[in-house]
Structure 1
Protein backbone atom coordinates (compact mmCIF):
# COMPACT_ATOMS: atom_id res chain seq x y z
CA UNK A 1 0.00 0.00 0.00
CA UNK A 2 1.53 3.38 -0.98
CA UNK A 3 2.38 5.94 1.71
CA UNK A 4 2.65 9.70 1.43
CA UNK A 5 2.11 13.05 3.12
CA UNK A 6 -0.93 15.31 2.84
CA UNK A 7 0.40 18.59 1.42
CA UNK A 8 -2.89 20.39 0.78
CA UNK A 9 -6.48 20.25 1.97
CA UNK A 10 -9.20 21.89 -0.08
CA UNK A 11 -12.85 21.31 0.69
CA UNK A 12 -13.11 17.52 1.16
CA UNK A 13 -10.12 16.62 -0.99
CA UNK A 14 -6.70 15.82 0.46
CA UNK A 15 -3.70 16.05 -1.85
CA UNK A 16 -1.18 13.34 -0.96
CA UNK A 17 2.41 13.66 -2.15
CA UNK A 18 4.11 10.34 -2.78
CA UNK A 19 7.08 9.43 -4.93
CA UNK A 20 7.28 12.79 -6.65
CA UNK A 21 3.58 12.84 -7.58
CA UNK A 22 0.52 14.32 -5.90
CA UNK A 23 -2.73 12.34 -5.69
CA UNK A 24 -6.13 13.90 -4.84
CA UNK A 25 -7.76 11.66 -2.24
CA UNK A 26 -10.90 11.47 -0.15
CA UNK A 27 -11.01 10.34 3.45
CA UNK A 28 -12.03 6.81 4.30
CA UNK A 29 -15.75 6.43 4.88
CA UNK A 30 -15.50 5.49 8.54
CA UNK A 31 -13.22 8.42 9.42
CA UNK A 32 -16.25 10.61 10.00
CA UNK A 33 -17.89 8.01 12.25
CA UNK A 34 -14.70 7.80 14.31
CA UNK A 35 -14.41 11.62 14.32
CA UNK A 36 -11.07 11.43 12.54
CA UNK A 37 -10.13 14.37 10.34
CA UNK A 38 -7.06 14.12 8.09
CA UNK A 39 -4.77 17.13 8.42
CA UNK A 40 -2.19 18.71 6.16
CA UNK A 41 1.13 17.28 7.33
CA UNK A 42 -0.30 13.85 8.10
CA UNK A 43 1.70 10.82 6.99
CA UNK A 44 -0.87 8.46 5.50
CA UNK A 45 -1.47 5.20 3.70
CA UNK A 46 -3.71 5.50 0.68
CA UNK A 47 -5.01 3.58 -2.29
CA UNK A 48 -5.94 4.38 -5.89
CA UNK A 49 -8.90 2.33 -7.17
CA UNK A 50 -9.70 1.16 -10.67
CA UNK A 51 -11.44 4.47 -11.38
CA UNK A 52 -8.24 6.33 -10.44
CA UNK A 53 -9.92 7.77 -7.36
CA UNK A 54 -7.73 8.04 -4.28
CA UNK A 55 -8.76 7.14 -0.73
CA UNK A 56 -6.84 7.68 2.51
CA UNK A 57 -7.03 4.45 4.46
CA UNK A 58 -4.86 5.08 7.50
CA UNK A 59 -3.29 8.07 9.28
CA UNK A 60 0.01 7.46 11.04
CA UNK A 61 0.52 8.67 14.60
CA UNK A 62 1.07 12.44 14.83
CA UNK A 63 3.90 13.98 16.83
CA UNK A 64 1.88 17.20 17.23
CA UNK A 65 -1.13 18.99 15.78
CA UNK A 66 -2.85 22.36 15.75
CA UNK A 67 -6.59 22.96 15.53
CA UNK A 68 -6.54 26.42 13.92
CA UNK A 69 -4.73 26.26 11.57
CA UNK A 70 -5.46 22.55 11.05
CA UNK A 71 -1.99 21.08 10.52
CA UNK A 72 0.12 18.26 11.96
CA UNK A 73 3.72 17.03 12.32
CA UNK A 74 5.44 20.41 12.41
CA UNK A 75 9.14 20.70 13.31
CA UNK A 76 9.40 24.44 13.91
CA UNK A 77 7.44 27.66 13.85
CA UNK A 78 8.68 30.87 12.26
CA UNK A 79 6.89 33.66 14.10
CA UNK A 80 6.64 36.81 12.01
CA UNK A 81 6.18 40.04 13.97
CA UNK A 82 6.13 43.44 12.32
CA UNK A 83 7.69 46.36 14.16
CA UNK A 84 5.38 48.92 12.51
CA UNK A 85 2.11 48.74 10.56
CA UNK A 86 0.96 46.99 12.74
CA UNK A 87 3.08 48.10 15.68
CA UNK A 88 5.07 45.54 17.63
CA UNK A 89 3.23 44.05 20.62
CA UNK A 90 5.39 41.91 22.96
CA UNK A 91 2.27 40.43 24.56
CA UNK A 92 1.13 39.06 21.20
CA UNK A 93 4.57 37.66 20.36
CA UNK A 94 4.76 36.01 23.78
CA UNK A 95 1.32 34.51 23.23
CA UNK A 96 2.56 32.90 20.01
CA UNK A 97 5.72 31.73 21.78
CA UNK A 98 3.71 30.07 24.56
CA UNK A 99 1.53 28.24 22.02
CA UNK A 100 4.60 27.08 20.10
CA UNK A 101 6.48 26.05 23.25
CA UNK A 102 3.42 24.09 24.45
CA UNK A 103 3.77 21.92 21.32
CA UNK A 104 7.50 21.41 22.00
CA UNK A 105 8.39 23.17 18.75
CA UNK A 106 11.48 25.23 18.02
CA UNK A 107 10.49 28.89 17.41
CA UNK A 108 12.32 31.34 15.16
CA UNK A 109 11.36 35.02 15.51
CA UNK A 110 11.42 37.27 12.44
CA UNK A 111 10.95 41.01 12.93
CA UNK A 112 9.75 42.59 9.67
CA UNK A 113 9.65 46.16 8.32
CA UNK A 114 12.66 47.24 10.40
CA UNK A 115 13.67 49.66 7.63
CA UNK A 116 10.57 51.73 8.46
CA UNK A 117 11.68 52.46 12.05
CA UNK A 118 12.84 55.85 13.27
CA UNK A 119 15.95 55.94 15.47
CA UNK A 120 14.10 55.85 18.81
CA UNK A 121 11.92 52.93 17.80
CA UNK A 122 14.94 51.12 16.34
CA UNK A 123 16.69 51.24 19.72
CA UNK A 124 13.56 49.92 21.42
CA UNK A 125 13.28 46.98 19.02
CA UNK A 126 16.99 46.22 19.42
CA UNK A 127 16.43 45.89 23.17
CA UNK A 128 13.61 43.41 22.56
CA UNK A 129 15.80 41.50 20.10
CA UNK A 130 18.57 41.24 22.67
CA UNK A 131 16.13 40.12 25.36
CA UNK A 132 14.72 37.29 23.23
CA UNK A 133 18.18 36.20 22.10
CA UNK A 134 19.35 36.03 25.72
CA UNK A 135 16.39 33.71 26.35
CA UNK A 136 17.79 31.38 23.67
CA UNK A 137 15.54 32.32 20.76
CA UNK A 138 16.80 32.78 17.21
CA UNK A 139 15.89 36.29 16.01
CA UNK A 140 16.10 37.60 12.44
CA UNK A 141 15.80 41.32 11.65
CA UNK A 142 14.04 41.71 8.30
CA UNK A 143 13.01 44.70 6.23
CA UNK A 144 10.18 45.38 3.82
CA UNK A 145 12.72 44.96 1.01
CA UNK A 146 14.46 41.81 -0.22
CA UNK A 147 17.77 41.67 1.61
CA UNK A 148 20.21 39.43 3.44
CA UNK A 149 17.59 38.58 6.09
CA UNK A 150 15.81 36.34 3.58
CA UNK A 151 18.97 34.31 3.18
CA UNK A 152 19.14 34.01 6.97
CA UNK A 153 15.52 32.80 7.13
CA UNK A 154 16.15 30.25 4.35
CA UNK A 155 18.90 28.57 6.41
CA UNK A 156 16.29 27.55 9.00
CA UNK A 157 14.08 25.80 6.44
CA UNK A 158 16.32 23.01 5.19
CA UNK A 159 15.15 19.53 6.09
CA UNK A 160 12.30 20.74 8.31
CA UNK A 161 8.55 21.19 8.14
CA UNK A 162 7.88 24.75 9.22
CA UNK A 163 4.73 26.71 9.94
CA UNK A 164 4.58 30.49 9.54
CA UNK A 165 2.82 32.19 12.46
CA UNK A 166 1.87 35.80 13.10
CA UNK A 167 -1.09 38.16 13.03
CA UNK A 168 -2.58 39.32 9.75
CA UNK A 169 -0.69 42.00 7.89
CA UNK A 170 2.77 41.41 9.36
CA UNK A 171 4.16 40.21 6.04
CA UNK A 172 3.98 36.41 6.14
CA UNK A 173 2.88 35.95 2.51
CA UNK A 174 5.20 38.74 1.37
CA UNK A 175 8.13 36.95 3.01
CA UNK A 176 7.22 33.66 1.33
CA UNK A 177 6.88 35.42 -2.04
CA UNK A 178 10.33 36.93 -1.59
CA UNK A 179 11.81 33.56 -0.66
CA UNK A 180 10.10 31.84 -3.60
CA UNK A 181 8.96 34.39 -6.25
CA UNK A 182 7.09 31.77 -8.29
CA UNK A 183 4.54 31.38 -5.48
CA UNK A 184 2.81 34.71 -6.19
CA UNK A 185 0.78 34.44 -2.97
CA UNK A 186 -1.90 37.09 -2.53
CA UNK A 187 -1.06 39.94 -0.16
CA UNK A 188 -3.08 42.86 1.16
CA UNK A 189 -2.24 46.23 2.65
CA UNK A 190 -2.87 47.09 6.28
CA UNK A 191 -6.27 48.56 7.06
CA UNK A 192 -5.60 52.09 8.34
CA UNK A 193 -8.81 52.12 10.38
CA UNK A 194 -8.31 48.72 12.00
CA UNK A 195 -4.51 48.75 12.24
CA UNK A 196 -4.28 45.18 10.99
CA UNK A 197 -4.30 43.25 7.77
CA UNK A 198 -6.80 40.98 6.12
CA UNK A 199 -6.38 37.22 5.88
CA UNK A 200 -5.11 36.51 2.37
CA UNK A 201 -4.43 32.78 2.64
CA UNK A 202 -7.60 30.68 2.52
CA UNK A 203 -6.40 27.10 2.82
CA UNK A 204 -3.54 25.15 4.35
CA UNK A 205 -0.80 23.98 2.01
CA UNK A 206 2.75 22.67 2.41
CA UNK A 207 5.16 24.20 -0.09
CA UNK A 208 8.56 22.71 -0.97
CA UNK A 209 11.18 25.35 -0.26
CA UNK A 210 14.92 25.29 0.40
CA UNK A 211 15.01 21.55 1.04
CA UNK A 212 12.11 21.60 3.48
CA UNK A 213 8.35 22.08 3.62
CA UNK A 214 6.77 25.40 4.60
CA UNK A 215 3.11 25.71 5.55
CA UNK A 216 1.22 28.66 4.17
CA UNK A 217 -1.88 28.82 6.36
CA UNK A 218 -4.83 31.16 7.00
CA UNK A 219 -3.12 32.11 10.26
CA UNK A 220 -3.46 31.18 13.91
CA UNK A 221 -7.04 32.15 14.61
CA UNK A 222 -7.17 30.30 17.95
CA UNK A 223 -4.80 32.03 20.33
CA UNK A 224 -6.57 31.04 23.54
CA UNK A 225 -4.84 28.68 25.96
CA UNK A 226 -7.78 26.31 26.08
CA UNK A 227 -5.70 23.14 26.20
CA UNK A 228 -3.00 24.53 28.49
CA UNK A 229 -3.18 23.92 32.24
CA UNK A 230 -1.89 26.25 34.93
CA UNK A 231 1.00 24.02 35.95
CA UNK A 232 2.10 23.73 32.30
CA UNK A 233 2.40 27.47 31.67
CA UNK A 234 5.78 28.01 33.42
CA UNK A 235 7.34 25.33 31.21
CA UNK A 236 6.42 27.44 28.17
CA UNK A 237 8.82 30.17 29.35
CA UNK A 238 12.46 29.02 29.07
CA UNK A 239 13.64 31.48 31.70
CA UNK A 240 11.11 30.07 34.18
CA UNK A 241 12.17 26.54 33.41
CA UNK A 242 15.69 27.63 34.38
CA UNK A 243 15.07 29.70 37.50
CA UNK A 244 11.98 27.75 38.63
CA UNK A 245 14.18 24.85 39.67
CA UNK A 246 15.47 27.04 42.52
CA UNK A 247 12.02 27.89 43.92
CA UNK A 248 11.43 26.72 47.48
CA UNK A 249 8.11 25.03 46.72
CA UNK A 250 7.50 22.44 44.02
CA UNK A 251 4.78 23.45 41.60
CA UNK A 252 5.46 27.13 42.23
CA UNK A 253 3.42 29.30 39.86
CA UNK A 254 5.74 32.30 40.44
CA UNK A 255 2.89 34.55 41.47
CA UNK A 256 2.17 34.89 45.20
CA UNK A 257 4.36 32.09 46.55
CA UNK A 258 7.15 33.02 49.03
CA UNK A 259 10.84 32.51 48.26
CA UNK A 260 10.17 32.29 44.53
CA UNK A 261 13.40 32.26 42.52
CA UNK A 262 11.63 33.54 39.41
CA UNK A 263 10.32 36.66 41.14
CA UNK A 264 13.77 37.25 42.58
CA UNK A 265 15.30 36.88 39.10
CA UNK A 266 12.89 39.54 37.84
CA UNK A 267 13.96 41.91 40.63
CA UNK A 268 17.63 41.17 39.89
CA UNK A 269 17.13 41.88 36.18
CA UNK A 270 17.89 38.30 35.13
CA UNK A 271 14.38 37.89 33.68
CA UNK A 272 12.93 40.74 31.56
CA UNK A 273 10.12 42.38 33.50
CA UNK A 274 7.89 42.58 30.39
CA UNK A 275 8.13 38.81 30.03
CA UNK A 276 7.13 38.27 33.64
CA UNK A 277 4.18 40.67 33.27
CA UNK A 278 3.06 38.80 30.15
CA UNK A 279 3.37 35.53 32.07
CA UNK A 280 1.11 36.87 34.83
CA UNK A 281 -1.37 38.07 32.20
CA UNK A 282 -1.56 34.54 30.74
CA UNK A 283 -1.69 32.97 34.21
CA UNK A 284 -4.74 35.03 35.18
CA UNK A 285 -6.32 34.32 31.80
CA UNK A 286 -6.05 30.56 32.36
CA UNK A 287 -7.28 30.89 35.94
CA UNK A 288 -10.35 32.84 34.84
CA UNK A 289 -11.26 30.98 31.64
CA UNK A 290 -14.69 29.43 31.42
CA UNK A 291 -14.79 25.63 31.19
CA UNK A 292 -15.92 24.06 27.93
CA UNK A 293 -18.25 21.10 28.00
Structure 2
Protein backbone atom coordinates (compact mmCIF):
# COMPACT_ATOMS: atom_id res chain seq x y z
CA UNK A 1 0.00 0.00 0.00
CA UNK A 2 1.08 3.57 -0.70
CA UNK A 3 0.63 6.90 1.06
CA UNK A 4 -0.36 10.24 -0.39
CA UNK A 5 -2.48 13.37 -0.02
CA UNK A 6 -5.94 14.01 -1.46
CA UNK A 7 -5.65 17.09 -3.66
CA UNK A 8 -9.13 17.01 -5.27
CA UNK A 9 -12.53 15.46 -4.55
CA UNK A 10 -15.05 15.42 -7.39
CA UNK A 11 -18.10 13.31 -8.29
CA UNK A 12 -17.33 10.59 -5.76
CA UNK A 13 -13.67 10.27 -6.74
CA UNK A 14 -10.65 11.28 -4.69
CA UNK A 15 -7.48 12.28 -6.51
CA UNK A 16 -4.43 11.30 -4.47
CA UNK A 17 -0.96 12.79 -5.06
CA UNK A 18 1.79 10.33 -4.21
CA UNK A 19 5.48 10.71 -5.14
CA UNK A 20 4.64 13.13 -7.92
CA UNK A 21 1.95 10.91 -9.47
CA UNK A 22 -1.83 11.31 -9.36
CA UNK A 23 -4.18 8.38 -8.61
CA UNK A 24 -7.96 8.37 -9.00
CA UNK A 25 -9.45 6.57 -6.00
CA UNK A 26 -12.75 5.72 -4.38
CA UNK A 27 -13.34 5.54 -0.65
CA UNK A 28 -13.85 2.21 1.09
CA UNK A 29 -17.46 1.31 1.77
CA UNK A 30 -16.66 0.95 5.46
CA UNK A 31 -16.00 4.70 5.68
CA UNK A 32 -19.75 5.32 5.41
CA UNK A 33 -20.44 3.08 8.43
CA UNK A 34 -17.61 4.76 10.35
CA UNK A 35 -18.97 8.19 9.36
CA UNK A 36 -15.64 9.12 7.80
CA UNK A 37 -15.72 11.45 4.81
CA UNK A 38 -12.30 11.89 3.17
CA UNK A 39 -11.45 15.54 2.58
CA UNK A 40 -9.10 17.42 0.32
CA UNK A 41 -5.89 17.79 2.33
CA UNK A 42 -6.23 14.40 4.03
CA UNK A 43 -3.12 12.23 4.29
CA UNK A 44 -4.22 8.74 3.30
CA UNK A 45 -3.15 5.15 2.75
CA UNK A 46 -4.37 3.75 -0.57
CA UNK A 47 -4.12 0.80 -2.93
CA UNK A 48 -4.06 1.27 -6.71
CA UNK A 49 -3.82 -1.23 -9.56
CA UNK A 50 -3.46 1.66 -12.03
CA UNK A 51 -3.56 5.48 -12.00
CA UNK A 52 -7.33 5.26 -12.67
CA UNK A 53 -8.22 2.41 -10.28
CA UNK A 54 -7.54 2.85 -6.58
CA UNK A 55 -9.14 2.67 -3.15
CA UNK A 56 -8.46 4.77 -0.07
CA UNK A 57 -7.87 2.32 2.79
CA UNK A 58 -7.18 4.68 5.68
CA UNK A 59 -7.45 8.37 6.52
CA UNK A 60 -4.76 9.53 8.94
CA UNK A 61 -5.70 11.65 11.94
CA UNK A 62 -6.23 15.31 11.03
CA UNK A 63 -4.57 18.23 12.79
CA UNK A 64 -7.54 20.44 11.80
CA UNK A 65 -10.42 20.65 9.36
CA UNK A 66 -12.71 23.32 7.96
CA UNK A 67 -16.34 22.82 7.01
CA UNK A 68 -16.74 25.74 4.61
CA UNK A 69 -14.62 25.14 2.60
CA UNK A 70 -14.28 21.37 3.26
CA UNK A 71 -10.53 20.86 3.65
CA UNK A 72 -8.19 19.26 6.22
CA UNK A 73 -4.66 19.69 7.54
CA UNK A 74 -4.34 23.37 6.67
CA UNK A 75 -1.18 25.20 7.78
CA UNK A 76 -2.10 28.66 6.57
CA UNK A 77 -5.16 30.60 5.49
CA UNK A 78 -4.65 33.34 2.92
CA UNK A 79 -7.57 35.67 3.63
CA UNK A 80 -8.11 37.73 0.50
CA UNK A 81 -10.08 40.95 0.83
CA UNK A 82 -10.53 43.68 -1.73
CA UNK A 83 -9.86 47.31 -0.94
CA UNK A 84 -12.99 48.20 -2.95
CA UNK A 85 -15.48 46.38 -5.21
CA UNK A 86 -16.58 44.90 -2.84
CA UNK A 87 -15.58 47.38 -0.15
CA UNK A 88 -13.15 46.27 2.55
CA UNK A 89 -15.11 44.78 5.45
CA UNK A 90 -13.36 44.63 8.83
CA UNK A 91 -16.24 42.72 10.44
CA UNK A 92 -16.12 40.02 7.78
CA UNK A 93 -12.33 39.83 8.07
CA UNK A 94 -12.65 39.44 11.85
CA UNK A 95 -15.14 36.60 11.34
CA UNK A 96 -12.62 34.81 9.13
CA UNK A 97 -9.81 35.50 11.60
CA UNK A 98 -11.79 34.09 14.55
CA UNK A 99 -12.57 30.89 12.66
CA UNK A 100 -8.97 30.52 11.50
CA UNK A 101 -7.50 31.28 14.94
CA UNK A 102 -9.89 28.74 16.53
CA UNK A 103 -8.40 26.02 14.29
CA UNK A 104 -4.79 27.05 15.09
CA UNK A 105 -4.20 27.95 11.44
CA UNK A 106 -1.77 30.75 10.61
CA UNK A 107 -3.57 33.65 8.88
CA UNK A 108 -2.11 35.82 6.13
CA UNK A 109 -4.18 38.86 5.16
CA UNK A 110 -4.10 40.00 1.53
CA UNK A 111 -5.74 43.28 0.52
CA UNK A 112 -6.27 43.13 -3.23
CA UNK A 113 -7.38 45.72 -5.82
CA UNK A 114 -5.23 48.44 -4.24
CA UNK A 115 -5.07 50.09 -7.68
CA UNK A 116 -8.77 51.01 -7.43
CA UNK A 117 -8.40 53.20 -4.34
CA UNK A 118 -9.13 56.90 -4.51
CA UNK A 119 -7.44 59.40 -2.20
CA UNK A 120 -10.42 59.22 0.18
CA UNK A 121 -10.81 55.43 0.28
CA UNK A 122 -7.03 54.89 0.41
CA UNK A 123 -6.82 56.67 3.76
CA UNK A 124 -9.53 54.45 5.25
CA UNK A 125 -8.12 51.16 3.95
CA UNK A 126 -4.55 52.02 4.92
CA UNK A 127 -5.74 52.78 8.47
CA UNK A 128 -7.20 49.26 8.68
CA UNK A 129 -3.99 47.75 7.29
CA UNK A 130 -1.98 49.63 9.91
CA UNK A 131 -4.24 48.33 12.70
CA UNK A 132 -3.97 44.67 11.67
CA UNK A 133 -0.20 44.90 11.30
CA UNK A 134 0.02 46.45 14.76
CA UNK A 135 -1.90 43.47 16.15
CA UNK A 136 0.77 41.24 14.63
CA UNK A 137 -0.82 39.95 11.44
CA UNK A 138 1.11 39.83 8.17
CA UNK A 139 -0.70 41.97 5.60
CA UNK A 140 0.25 42.02 1.90
CA UNK A 141 -1.14 44.72 -0.41
CA UNK A 142 -1.69 43.52 -3.99
CA UNK A 143 -3.01 44.50 -7.39
CA UNK A 144 -3.33 41.92 -10.14
CA UNK A 145 -3.91 44.74 -12.65
CA UNK A 146 -0.59 46.37 -11.82
CA UNK A 147 1.00 43.03 -10.81
CA UNK A 148 2.16 44.60 -7.55
CA UNK A 149 2.67 42.70 -4.30
CA UNK A 150 2.10 39.32 -5.98
CA UNK A 151 5.75 38.24 -5.74
CA UNK A 152 5.70 38.93 -1.99
CA UNK A 153 3.16 36.13 -1.54
CA UNK A 154 5.21 33.28 -3.00
CA UNK A 155 7.62 32.71 -0.06
CA UNK A 156 4.64 32.29 2.27
CA UNK A 157 3.55 29.11 0.42
CA UNK A 158 6.81 27.21 0.91
CA UNK A 159 6.35 23.80 2.61
CA UNK A 160 2.78 24.62 3.64
CA UNK A 161 -0.75 23.61 2.73
CA UNK A 162 -2.55 26.93 2.32
CA UNK A 163 -6.18 27.75 1.73
CA UNK A 164 -7.29 30.83 -0.20
CA UNK A 165 -10.49 32.13 1.32
CA UNK A 166 -12.57 35.27 1.24
CA UNK A 167 -15.72 36.86 -0.06
CA UNK A 168 -16.68 36.24 -3.68
CA UNK A 169 -15.37 38.80 -6.15
CA UNK A 170 -12.29 39.87 -4.19
CA UNK A 171 -9.88 38.35 -6.71
CA UNK A 172 -8.75 35.03 -5.23
CA UNK A 173 -8.62 33.27 -8.61
CA UNK A 174 -7.06 36.34 -10.24
CA UNK A 175 -4.26 36.28 -7.65
CA UNK A 176 -3.61 32.58 -8.26
CA UNK A 177 -3.56 33.21 -12.01
CA UNK A 178 -1.04 36.04 -11.48
CA UNK A 179 1.19 33.71 -9.48
CA UNK A 180 0.78 30.77 -11.87
CA UNK A 181 -0.54 31.99 -15.27
CA UNK A 182 -0.73 28.42 -16.59
CA UNK A 183 -3.63 27.69 -14.21
CA UNK A 184 -6.05 29.87 -16.21
CA UNK A 185 -8.63 29.72 -13.42
CA UNK A 186 -11.99 31.18 -14.36
CA UNK A 187 -12.63 34.65 -12.95
CA UNK A 188 -15.57 37.02 -12.90
CA UNK A 189 -15.98 40.62 -11.85
CA UNK A 190 -18.43 41.41 -9.10
CA UNK A 191 -22.11 41.67 -9.93
CA UNK A 192 -22.97 45.34 -9.68
CA UNK A 193 -26.66 44.45 -9.40
CA UNK A 194 -26.08 42.26 -6.32
CA UNK A 195 -23.07 44.16 -4.99
CA UNK A 196 -21.11 40.97 -4.49
CA UNK A 197 -18.99 38.59 -6.50
CA UNK A 198 -20.19 35.75 -8.68
CA UNK A 199 -19.01 32.30 -7.63
CA UNK A 200 -16.33 31.07 -10.01
CA UNK A 201 -14.69 28.18 -8.11
CA UNK A 202 -17.01 25.18 -7.75
CA UNK A 203 -14.88 22.70 -5.82
CA UNK A 204 -11.83 22.62 -3.57
CA UNK A 205 -8.58 21.62 -5.24
CA UNK A 206 -4.98 21.79 -4.04
CA UNK A 207 -2.61 23.33 -6.57
CA UNK A 208 1.17 23.08 -6.48
CA UNK A 209 2.74 26.52 -6.13
CA UNK A 210 6.43 26.78 -5.44
CA UNK A 211 7.30 24.34 -2.69
CA UNK A 212 3.75 24.19 -1.29
CA UNK A 213 0.13 23.33 -1.98
CA UNK A 214 -2.54 26.02 -2.27
CA UNK A 215 -6.32 25.57 -2.34
CA UNK A 216 -8.60 27.84 -4.31
CA UNK A 217 -12.02 27.54 -2.68
CA UNK A 218 -15.62 28.45 -3.52
CA UNK A 219 -16.38 32.00 -2.40
CA UNK A 220 -18.80 32.54 0.46
CA UNK A 221 -19.96 35.42 2.60
CA UNK A 222 -21.76 33.83 5.61
CA UNK A 223 -19.78 32.44 8.53
CA UNK A 224 -21.20 30.86 11.68
CA UNK A 225 -19.42 30.22 14.98
CA UNK A 226 -21.03 26.81 15.53
CA UNK A 227 -17.92 25.16 16.98
CA UNK A 228 -16.66 28.04 19.11
CA UNK A 229 -17.53 28.30 22.81
CA UNK A 230 -17.74 31.48 24.89
CA UNK A 231 -14.49 30.79 26.72
CA UNK A 232 -12.66 30.12 23.43
CA UNK A 233 -13.57 33.40 21.71
CA UNK A 234 -11.13 35.61 23.71
CA UNK A 235 -8.25 33.33 22.62
CA UNK A 236 -9.06 34.13 18.98
CA UNK A 237 -8.09 37.80 19.42
CA UNK A 238 -4.26 37.95 19.74
CA UNK A 239 -4.29 41.45 21.24
CA UNK A 240 -6.61 40.15 24.00
CA UNK A 241 -4.42 37.10 24.67
CA UNK A 242 -1.41 39.39 24.98
CA UNK A 243 -3.07 41.27 27.85
CA UNK A 244 -5.20 38.56 29.51
CA UNK A 245 -2.62 37.76 32.22
CA UNK A 246 -2.95 41.34 33.45
CA UNK A 247 -6.71 41.01 34.02
CA UNK A 248 -7.78 40.73 37.68
CA UNK A 249 -9.89 37.61 37.09
CA UNK A 250 -8.71 34.41 35.46
CA UNK A 251 -11.01 33.54 32.55
CA UNK A 252 -11.99 37.19 32.13
CA UNK A 253 -14.45 37.63 29.27
CA UNK A 254 -13.34 41.28 28.86
CA UNK A 255 -16.94 42.50 28.94
CA UNK A 256 -18.38 43.03 32.45
CA UNK A 257 -15.46 42.24 34.76
CA UNK A 258 -13.71 45.04 36.70
CA UNK A 259 -9.98 45.73 36.32
CA UNK A 260 -9.89 44.19 32.86
CA UNK A 261 -6.60 44.83 31.02
CA UNK A 262 -8.28 44.54 27.62
CA UNK A 263 -10.84 47.23 28.39
CA UNK A 264 -8.07 49.39 29.84
CA UNK A 265 -6.12 49.03 26.57
CA UNK A 266 -9.29 49.82 24.64
CA UNK A 267 -9.79 53.05 26.59
CA UNK A 268 -6.14 53.96 25.97
CA UNK A 269 -6.60 53.52 22.21
CA UNK A 270 -4.23 50.54 22.07
CA UNK A 271 -6.98 48.27 20.73
CA UNK A 272 -9.15 49.50 17.81
CA UNK A 273 -12.72 50.09 19.00
CA UNK A 274 -14.18 48.23 16.02
CA UNK A 275 -12.22 45.08 16.96
CA UNK A 276 -13.68 45.17 20.45
CA UNK A 277 -17.18 45.91 19.08
CA UNK A 278 -16.89 42.88 16.79
CA UNK A 279 -15.75 40.75 19.74
CA UNK A 280 -18.81 41.74 21.79
CA UNK A 281 -21.06 41.12 18.80
CA UNK A 282 -19.55 37.66 18.21
CA UNK A 283 -19.89 36.78 21.90
CA UNK A 284 -23.59 37.67 21.78
CA UNK A 285 -24.03 35.47 18.69
CA UNK A 286 -22.38 32.52 20.46
CA UNK A 287 -24.59 32.99 23.54
CA UNK A 288 -27.72 33.21 21.38
CA UNK A 289 -26.72 30.02 19.58
CA UNK A 290 -26.42 28.16 22.89
CA UNK A 291 -29.83 29.43 23.98
CA UNK A 292 -31.36 28.42 20.65
CA UNK A 293 -29.98 24.90 20.71
Interval of TM-score (by shorter of Structure 1 and Structure 2) = over 0.9
1:247 is matched with 247
| 1:221 to 1:72, Cα distance in 2 relative to 1, 3 A | farther
1:218 is matched with 218
Q: Distance in 2 between matches of 1:118 and 1:16?
A: 46
The answer to whether residue 192 in structure 2 is matched with residue 187 in structure 1 is no
| 1:1-293 mapped onto 2 (5 Å cutoff) | 1-49=1-49, 53-220=53-220, 223-289=223-289
Give 1:89 shift.
0.9
Q: Distance in 2 between matches of 1:292 and 1:105?
A: 29
In the comparison of the two structures, how many residue pairs are matched?
Answer: 293
Q: What is the TM-score of this pair, normalised by structure 1?
A: 0.96
Aligned partners of 1:68 and 1:222 also within 8 Å: no
Q: Distance in 2 between matches of 1:277 and 1:31?
A: 43
Q: Distance in 2 between matches of 1:109 and 1:76?
A: 10
Aligned partners of 2:41 and 2:73 also within 8 Å: yes
Aligned partners of 1:69 and 1:221 also within 8 Å: no
Q: Distance in 1 between matches of 2:32 and 2:49?
A: 20
Aligned partners of 2:143 and 2:150 also within 8 Å: no
| 1:85 to 1:243, Cα distance in 2 relative to 1, 3 A | same
- Cα RMSD of the aligned pairs, angstroms, is 1.6
Q: What is the TM-score of this pair, normalised by structure 2?
A: 0.96
Q: Distance in 2 between matches of 1:246 and 1:59?
A: 43
Q: Distance in 2 between matches of 1:76 and 1:52?
A: 31
| 1:63 to 1:221, Cα distance in 2 relative to 1, 3 A | farther
Give 1:50 shift.
8.0
* SS of residue paired to 1:230: coil
Runs of 5+ unmatched residues, structure 1? none
* Runs of 4+ with >3 A deviation: 49-52, 219-222, 290-293
Give 1:147 shift.
2.3
Q: Distance in 2 between matches of 1:75 and 1:284?
A: 29
